[in-house]
Structures are given as C-alpha cells and as structure tokens.
Amino acid sequence: MSYDKILLSTDQAEKILLKYFNIIGSATSLPGEIDFNFKINVNNKPLFILKVSRPDDKNTRLDFQQKLLEYLSVNNKTLIAPEIVKDNNGNSISKYIDNMGNERMVRLLTWVDGRVWSSIKPQLEDLRYSLGKHCGSLTSTLQNFNHPEAHFNFDWDIGQSLWTKEYIHLFNDAEEQIIISFQNKFERNKPNYDKLRKSIIHNDANDNNIIVNSDFVNPKVKALIDYGDAIHTQTINDVAVTCAYAIMDYHDPLDAVLPIISGYHSEFQLLEDELLHLYNAIGMRLIISLTKSAINKVKEPDNVYLLISEKPAWKLLKKWHAINDDFAYYSFRNACGFTAHPKEDDLKSWMRQQHFELPQLFPTINRNSIHHVDLSVSSNWIGHQNEFNDLDLFQFKIERLQQKYPDKIIAGGYLEPRSIYTTSSYDKIGNHGKESRSIHLGIDFWLPAQTPVHAFIDGEVVIAVNDAGDKEYGGLVIIKHNLKDFNFYTLYGHLTVKSATSHNIGDVIKKGEVVGKLGNYPENGNWAPHLHIQIMLSLLNYKNDFPGVAFHRQISVWKSICPDPNLLLKSNAFQNNSPIKNNNLITFRQKHLGKSLSLQYKTPLKIVRGSGQYLIDNFGRKYLDTVNNVAHVGHEHPAVVKTGQEQMAVLNTNTRYLHENINLLAKELLKTLPPELSVIHFVNSGSEANELAIRMVKANTDSQDIIASEVGYHGNSNACIDISSYKFDGKGGKGKPDHTHIIPLPDAFRGKYKGADSGKKYADEVQNRIDTIQDKGRKVGAFIIEPIISCGGQIELPEGFLEKAYQMIRNADGLCISDEVQTGCGRMGKTFWGFQLHNVVPDIVTIGKPIGNGHPLAAVACTQKVAEKFANGMEYFNTFGGNPVSCAIGTEVLRTVHQENLQKNALVVGEFLKSELKSLSKQFPIIGDVRGQGLFLGIELVDNATNPLPDETEYLVNRMKDYGFLMSSDGPEHNVLKIKPPLVFSKKNAEELLYYLSKILDEDFMTKCYDSV
Ligand SMILES: Cc1ncc(COP(=O)(O)O)c(C=O)c1O
C-alpha cells in the first residue's frame, strides 16, 4: 500500500482524540518510522502523544509496549517515561477503522516535556554521562520484566543483524569493505556473543527519543520515549544503540562514547565479556541503520525521515572502522573502572618478581644506577625550544651530564608530559580542539652511539624495521615474550637501522643476546643517542611501528597497555614527572599567598611553558593565547630570551654607571616617538610609569587635580588607584578622591552619548570637569586616558574626542598623558602608538607591558619642558629602572617588532579578524559590537535590548578554553571579550579562533536569550 494512502491527517488525529478519549486538542504530526505520531496540544500546552499504527502493521507487540510502560511506572518511581492514558472504555489500546476500512491501533500517552537530544548544543561529557546513566537505570529496572511478545524477529535487533549481509550489493566497493569487515567479525564472534546475558531493553535511544531537561548550564537526560523497538536480546545491545546514535558528528567518536559507557555502568554494571563485543555491536547497529536506509531509499523515496540519519551514520561508521577494536575495548574497560588491559595486574606482578639489573641490558656499560633527567614540559634543563631543537647542543648537554655522573646511566621519561615533539604527526583535531601527543610511554636511556642493547628475556622478533624519516624511532625492534597465560612485548627504539633490520621476523632472541646498537642522530629519529624501551601488552594491530608517545586524554588506557619498565629495574632514582592535578597548588596559594590574588577559569590552568602565541600546560596541552599583550613579540621569543640571558651573565646594576644599553633602548624608543617627546625615564612597571607621570604633573602644574575616564585603570600604586575608576568604583573601592575628576566612559555603543558623532559631547564632559576644578579655585593638573580603554571594554575613543579634549586641557594649562601601557609598541597596526590614531601629541606617554615582553620594564616619555621642571633638584633614583639587562631586553623587543614586521602583522591580521567578527555578528546577534584597532579588539555581547550579557561572556571564555583558546573578558559589565594576543598571532590563528567562536556562539546557552524572544 502506498505511503500516501496510509498517511493520517492532523484533522483525523484530532477526531480520533475526541472520539476515543473525549479530549479536544490540536494535533501536530511528528516523525516516526512505523506508527503515525501526533503531538497533542491542549490549551496550547503539549500534553499527549497520539500513536496510530499502520494498517499493514502485523505488529502484535502493543500489549508488550503498554505493559512495559506500566511496569516502569510501578517499579521505578524516579525514572520518567511516558504514561498510558486509557480510552473512554478503559482500554489502553483502542481500535480505529480508517477511511479505507482498515483496522488501526490507537494509543494515547502523556507528553514528556523537555528538549529533544538532537536539538541540544553542545552535548558535553556530563550530558553524555547522564544519557548512559539514564539508559542504564532503565535497563536495570527491566531486569525482572518479561513478556511473550518481547521475543520476536526484528531487523533492528543487533543480535539478529546478519540479515544485512543479503543487501551488501546496495553499497559501493569501499562501503562494502567496511560493512563486510564488521559482519565477518560479528559472525566469527557469534558463538561467544550468543552466550551473553539477555534482557528486555529499550533498543532505540536515538536522538529523537531522548528528552533532556531545560537546564542550559548543566543539562541532563530526563527521559527516554518511544518504546516501540523494545525487545528481549543481549543486554549490551542497548549500550551499543545508545552509543551509536549519541556519537555522530564527533571528531573522535571513541572519546565521545566513553562517558556514555561510564554512566551506563554506574547504574547497570556491565561485564567484561560484554564489553568485548561492544565495539562491533556499535558497528553493526550503524550497519542496520544504513542498510535500512539503502533499502527504503528504493522503496519509499519520498519518506525523508528514513534518510535523515544516513549521512552522519556513514561518517561515523568510517571513523569507527578506523579505530583499533582492541584499543576501543581497553578504553571501554577503563571507562567502567576495570584495568584497561585485562592482563595489566598479571604483567605488573610478574615484572615485580623479576630480578633484573641494568648491566643485563647494557653489559658493555658497567653502571648499575640511574641519574634521572627531566624532559617534561616544565623542565628548565631542556630549556628553550631552540635549545632542544639544536641536536648538537642537546648532545653536548647530555655528555656534560654524563661527565657529572660518570657512574650512572642518564635516563627518564615514563609518563612524562613532553612538549618537544613538534611535527604534525603528533597532532590531531579531537573533540576538544587541537590535541598533541605528549605523554611518553617508555624509558629513555642516554648512552653513546653503538652501545649494544641485550635482551633481558627470551623472545621472538615481531617487528624489525627502519622507522626513520617522519616516524619516531630510527631502527626499531619489537620482541614478543610468552608467559604462562599471556604474551607481552618489548620495544627497543632509536637503534641503528642496520642493527635493527639485521633481524628477520620470527627470529628467536635469547636472553642476553644482542637486540641492536644505539643509533646516532639523525638516523635514530631524534636527538642524542638513546634507547627507548617500552613494555606493551598488545601490539594493537601495528605492523611497522608503535606509538611511544600518547595523547594525554588517553593516559589511563595507555599506561595500562604499557606498564612502567622500571617495575623490572626497581630503581628509585626516577622522579615522578607524570602530570599531577593542581589541587595542592591551589590550596597552598589560597592559604599562603596574597588573598586578593585571583585565578582565571572555573578549573584553573597550570601553565609551565610559553612559545610564540601559545602557552602550554603541565599536561603538554597547547593553548592559543589571545589575551597576552605582555608577550608582545611572542612568548619566550628566542632573541629576547637570549639577549636577556647573555646580559644577565655579564652585568646587571643600577644606572649610576655609564652603560650603552640604557642609551640604546632610549634611542630605539625615540625613533618611534614624535620629536616633541624626547626625554625617557625608565621604570619597572606600568604602575610605576603612571606614578612617575603623576609626580611630573605635580612638579609641572603645582596641581594634583587629574581628569580621567570612568572605568579607566592606570595601576596598582596609591596614586594610580586614586585615578582608576575601575578600582575605586569597583568591588572594595571607596569612591573617587576629591582631586580626581571622572568623565563618563566615552563609549559610542552603549555609553552616555551614542553614535559616531559623540566625540564632541564627551569632550564637553572634559570641559565640564575643567570648569569644576577651576570653580573650586584650583588648577588643572592633567588629563590621563588610554587611546583604547582596555578595562572599560576595549572602548575606542570617538572621533575628534581626544583632539578636542587635549585642546581644552592645554587651554587650562594642564598636561595630557597618554597611557600606552596596553596599546603601545605597534599593536594598533596603523600606528606605533595609540595616540597617533588621534592626531595628537601628548606631553607624557607612559609605556609598560609590551616593551619587556614579560620582563618588568616600563618607561615614561615626555617633553623637554616637562622633564626639566620635574628635575627640580630632587634626585629620581630607581634601583632597577634602566638596568642593563632590562634595557637589553627592551631594545631587542623593539628591534624584533621592526625586524619581524609585527606592526604590519597586527594591522593585516587584526583587520581580517575584525571584519570576520563583524560578519559573524550578522549571524549571531548576540555580538552587539566589534571594535578596536590592530590586534587590540573587543567583542561586546548583548541581548536584543542591548543589555549586557556577562554570564554568556563568561561561558564563552570557559568554553573557548575547552577548545584550547585563552580569552578574557572585561568592561564595566564584564560582557566584552578582549582579543590582544602576542603580535605573532597569524591569519591562520585568527581563522581557528573564528571557527571555534562561531561553534560556541551557536550553543544553546549563547542563543537562548534570542531564541526565547
Ligand atoms: C592601562 C594600564 N595602565 C597601567 C597599568 C599598570 O601596569 P602594571 O601592572 O605593569 O603596573 C595597567 C595594567 O594592567 C594598564 O592596563
């Protein structure tokens, strides 16, 4: 019968509702594979779902479904599920004769309110965990329920999935291969699979059947609906179905599936044997779905619902197929709290029992103890990236260490997080953005090239290859060892290619025989000669190599597959370099460090290394830094680091002696400033610079009346706080002092005066303050403002404002100070200093953060006149200001800005980013304003009445961190995202940032304020 003929209209549904249930409601059609489903609104509220069967449906299982729902409502009071509404005659199933005279079954169920899984963005780990937990609880409740109709032939039952073999011809060659590989495995494993425990399961937790609560911060699964596919089958199939649907559209489906399994297991304990079949069961469920679509495409080409899940299902199946099934199994086990590898404990206890000594491994090296070398991300010993990439230098350092410890073997590395691997083969895009393999799985022994390595127990060669080139090891040998009831493997990496490939696969190597000789660089894959030894419980189907470094997210699985080789050696020289949680640091900090220090992010980060535009945490995770305008030319810029180190080794003292460096830095600075600003004073921080500027004002004008902007920040000293409305008007502040005069924040978007022509109005506010000062019979000291007000929320001064304000101040004999602590040194792109954007020349310019690239260095530039009046006889002495180390660093920073064309980069990348952000604001109206210059931008988040959205801003900052982007927010309402990265930030970085920003802007928490309108 054609689909059109059996289709039911909403009109018919409403009539059925009235006739059988005496309910007046309005029906809306819902998608359904077999039944025709209608959502029933009564008084505009969804209250019921009406289900009408197909006439040709020989499904006699409706009684089973109804009994199942009844069973649930009696046996699990906390589990929400649809409830049965009986008809006028007290039946839970009514019979209806349609227009064609066919009998159709009608049921009415209560509507479960909430959001459908498919509409939820994002579906984070906690939500997936709650999905598993909910399904597990349902399965657990159903353990003692049975019904004769629950045993039937069903295409959607994974247990019966081999029917799909008949339809293999519907797929192309590549697809066919993937499908066959799952089918064959399923068939092979069927005897054991058939023995798994069985029970009645829901069997259809697809994304339209999962209802999520309406909590946007911490969403949880509330209910499962549609019990039409429930069946008695292997219980693990329910886990497989749940997983198969919930992990579509993830970069890394294995990572995505694990919280579901943990959640399931927390309510319904899965057995190890069941987990063994889970990977393939997930594949088979996808194959059922794809085969159904392929068949139905031919049968009912106009039924869109049938085709809906085909595309993502294919994408997922291909990715799932590429995952090693053993690794998946170990990961599932780990998610359930079993040892990831079933033999982990056995191997470890065997290793502990062995009496094994270093000379057995290296008989030609007569040393039996170890000196631990630290190659972790935070290691000062490995130093700068440029140092560890210099192979000769690295070799030299190892040799020096060896000379220092002649009786020891230099070694280390097990579970060490390293950031020394920089080729792209170590990177992937995971579910949390870019991830890099960083966790070292073996121990490295640093010994001379050609040192022979001997086998410590008998074994058979399974891999002996040249693993050089892009790969990790140079010459690589893997030996298999048979113990009583399991095998394990030993990996010997970084050998000479010749010695490694002298073995044939299958060769037996006896205890004490030579495995190979240590290779030299570059043949050995990387750095100085060393042996990488790694113990493995599985080869995971690797044929020519094996990972020696793993992703941190998978550390608990890998450490189970690859136990610590030191269990054999039993040396206590190895320090634990494996990354630890940061709780201890936080506790100490809270107790013993200044109580007003704050920490960023809900889960604070421990950053241990910087590199260019990246910061790297103690787990080796790299974050793109969009915040740090202090690391102006890039974190740990090699030239800057080198200059600082070199000068520090020679001399650092105060400015009472002649030295080139202070003059050189002054000259570099003067080159960038207009000729009027020709005197430089060096200090150590932005606060000190502004503090000195205030002293200059007092000396010059005999006044301490200073005009500043609302929400301005100028430093942490007493005098600076007194002119910083951001502080004295903020938390803990005591309001403005008498000598400070605040103008409204000159914000043309949401300020007192709006629009492009607001410059004059804000300038008039300056005049107002001048008048107030003069009305009190006092003189105007100065006007201080940043060219773009950073703490104010990246507020660009409106056109014409600064020029007019400066004129007014000068007319009143006051001084004009431009605070360039944030904006200076090329960041603006178009100009080197922010004031230059406004066609003015200040009397004093204060310079801070960027000039030292992280080193405490700041400066005050002023006119000859200001400088002369300040030098009134009282010496200005500053212990550290202008010292040779700081000045060498500052000079190198300014040179680097020029040499690397970083001002131009700020302009090009900044303008690209700004214009793309503006385009994004059309797609996401939550972006109310995009502003700023060069690489000093702000994104203001507002609702459609321009109210600030601080919670959404904080959410965005934290979510961006999840994806590996460091961002910060500011502004009086904390609703402005600031973008002010190191100037080496590239267009590609900007593109990555935009990609993830748009992803998160589309998440429910961000869109809710617009959706609800
Ligand atoms: C505009 C402005 N001026 C001055 C300062 C004070 O600089 P420092 O923290 O180096 O003392 C800051 C610091 O954030 C600032 O943003």
- Cα(382) to ligand 1 centroid in Å equals 33
Name the residue with the closest Cα to ligand 1, atom 4.
714
Nearest to 722 by CA among 750, 693, 700: 693
pTM over 0.75: yes
Position 71 pLDDT exceeds 80: yes
- The Cα 987–Cα 1002 span in angstroms is 23
The pLDDT value given to residue 32: 74
Instruction: Answer whether the bond into residue 522 is a cis peptide, omega within 30°.
Output: yes
- The Cα 884–Cα 889 span in angstroms is 9
Confidence of residue 1013 (pLDDT cuts 50, 70, 90): very low
**For 322-342, what is each residue's pLDDT tens digit?**
999 999 999 999 999 999 999
- The Cα 143–Cα 141 span in angstroms is 6
Name the residue with the closest Cα to ligand 1, atom 9.
686
Confidence of residue 55 (pLDDT cuts 50, 70, 90): confident
Q: Which of helix, strand or coil describes residue 365?
A: coil
- The Cα 965–Cα 636 span in angstroms is 18
Average pLDDT score, the chain: 94
Q: What is the DSSP string of 874-937?
A: S----SSTT-HHHHHHHHHHHHHHHHTTHHHHHHHHHHHHHHHHHHHHHH-TTEEEEEEETTEE
What number does the ligand 1 atom closest to the CA of 791 have?
Answer: 16
What number does the ligand 1 atom closest to the CA of 685 have?
Answer: 10
- Cα(859) to ligand 1 centroid in Å equals 12
Which residues 6+ apart lie within 8 Å of 633 measured at CB?
640, 853, 893, 896, 897, 900, 902, 982, 983, 984
> Exposure pattern of 898-919 as b/e (b: 16+ CB <10 Å)?
eebebbebbbbbbbebbebbee
CA distance readout (Å), 443 to 26, 238, 551, 568, 717:
69, 42, 17, 12, 51
Ligand 1 neighbours (beta carbon < 6 A): 685-687, 690, 713-716, 786, 790, 819, 821-822, 848-849
Residue range 681-697: mean pLDDT, rounded: 98
What number does the ligand 1 atom closest to the CA of 716 have?
Answer: 11
- Cα(789) to ligand 1 centroid in Å equals 12
* Lowest-confidence region among 413-422, 554-563, 981-990: 413-422
Residue range 472-487: mean pLDDT, rounded: 93
**For 886-935, what is each residue's pLDDT tens digit?**
999 999 999 999 999 999 999 999 999 999 999 999 999 999 999 999 99
Confidence of residue 427 (pLDDT cuts 50, 70, 90): confident
Name the residue with the closest Cα to ligand 1, atom 14.
715
CA distance readout (Å), 468 to 493, 549, 886:
10, 16, 44
Confidence of residue 527 (pLDDT cuts 50, 70, 90): confident
- Cα(906) to ligand 1 centroid in Å equals 21
φ and ψ at 492, to 5 degrees? -115, 110
What number does the ligand 1 atom closest to the CA of 848 have?
Answer: 10
- Cα(689) to ligand 1 centroid in Å equals 9
- The Cα 183–Cα 171 span in angstroms is 14
Residues listed for the chain: 1013
- Cα(765) to ligand 1 centroid in Å equals 25
Position 579 pLDDT exceeds 80: no
For residue 490, the cross-strand partners are: 479, 535
Question: Could you tell me if 700 and 866 are in contact, meaning their C-beta atoms sit under 8 angstroms apart?
Answer: yes
- Cα(821) to ligand 1 centroid in Å equals 6
Residue range 636-641: mean pLDDT, rounded: 98
Position 812 pLDDT exceeds 60: yes
Locus of tokens 């109804």: 66
Q: Pick from 684, 687, 860 the residue to mutate for probing ligand 1's pocket: most ligand atoms within 8 Å of its CB.
A: 687
Our CA dihedral for 667, 671, 673, 678, rounded to 10 degrees, sits at 40
The pLDDT value given to residue 11: 95
Q: What is the DSSP string of 40-99?
A: EEETTEEEEEEEE--TT-----HHHHHHHHHHHHHH-SSSB---EE--TTS-SSEEEE-T
A 10 A CB-CB count for 471 gives 17
- Cα(48) to ligand 1 centroid in Å equals 61
**For 291-330, what is each residue's pLDDT tens digit?**
999 998 888 777 776 666 688 999 999 999 999 999 999 9
Question: Could you tell me if 936 and 823 are in contact, meaning their C-beta atoms sit under 8 angstroms apart?
Answer: yes
Residue range 652-657: mean pLDDT, rounded: 94
Question: Could you tell me if 182 and 240 are in contact, meaning their C-beta atoms sit under 8 angstroms apart?
Answer: no
- Cα(726) to ligand 1 centroid in Å equals 12
The pLDDT value given to residue 602: 84
Q: In the chain, pLDDT over 90 holds for what percent of residues?
A: 88
What number does the ligand 1 atom closest to the CA of 688 have?
Answer: 11
- The Cα 236–Cα 120 span in angstroms is 26
Name the residue with the closest Cα to ligand 1, atom 8.
686
Q: Which of helix, strand or coil describes residue 729?
A: coil
Confidence of residue 54 (pLDDT cuts 50, 70, 90): confident
Confidence of residue 58 (pLDDT cuts 50, 70, 90): low
Q: Which residue has the higher pLDDT, 597 or 157?
A: 157
**For 79-132, what is each residue's pLDDT tens digit?**
999 999 999 999 999 999 988 888 899 999 999 999 999 999 999 999 999 999
Residue 218 CB burial class (10 angstroms; 0-12, 13-18, ≥19):
exposed
Locus of tokens 């390595």: 453
Largest CA distance in the chain: 111
- The Cα 116–Cα 131 span in angstroms is 12
Residue range 789-809: mean pLDDT, rounded: 97
Residue range 637-645: mean pLDDT, rounded: 98
* Lowest-confidence region among 23-37, 211-225, 803-817: 23-37
Q: Pick from 821, 825, 845 the residue to mutate for probing ligand 1's pocket: most ligand atoms within 8 Å of its CB.
A: 821
